[in-house]
Amino acid sequence: MGWRRKEKETAVQYERLTERIPKGYVPMLVGSEEGEAERFLVRVKHLSDPCIVALLEKAAQEFGYGQKGILRIPCDAQQFRDMVHVISKDR
């Protein structure tokens, strides 16, 4: 019976990974290596903001361009949340 529980856990994890992303958004995993990362949905139109561009360049330097899966951003989650909030208000 243990294999059924494992099968169910795997199905739940798969469902979370394949959640539908709303049109016009990019999923990002934000957080430092030592802390827990938080998942964000960022509007595509915000990707051209200089602050976001700088973070994307930092991510490319740290993790490379060949990241598998969700895009990882090396930044404190609360700072990122505040930055996206300010960017959203400006537009």
35 within some domain: yes
12 within some domain: no
Structural domain for 67, as ranges: 21-90
9 within some domain: no
Of 57, 66, 55, give the one whose Cα is nearest residue 31: 55
pLDDT (tens, 9 = 90+) of the chain, 91 residues, equals 444 554 455 545 555 555 688 999 999 999 876 668 899 999 999 999 999 999 999 999 988 888 788 889 999 999 999 999 999 887 6
Work out the burial of residue 52: count CB atoms within 10 Å of its CB; fewer than 13 is exposed, 13-18 middle, 19 or more buried. buried
44 within some domain: yes
Say what the pLDDT of residue 6 is: 47
Say what the pLDDT of residue 37 is: 87
2 within some domain: no
14 within some domain: no
Predicted TM-score (pTM) of the model is 0.70
30 within some domain: yes
Say what the pLDDT of residue 13 is: 52
Q: How many domains does the chain contain in total?
A: 1
Whole-number Å distance between alpha carbons of 7 and 29: 26
Neighbouring CB atoms inside 10 A of 23's CB total: 6
Evaluate the CA torsion angle 72, 77, 79, 85 in order and state its sign. Answer: positive
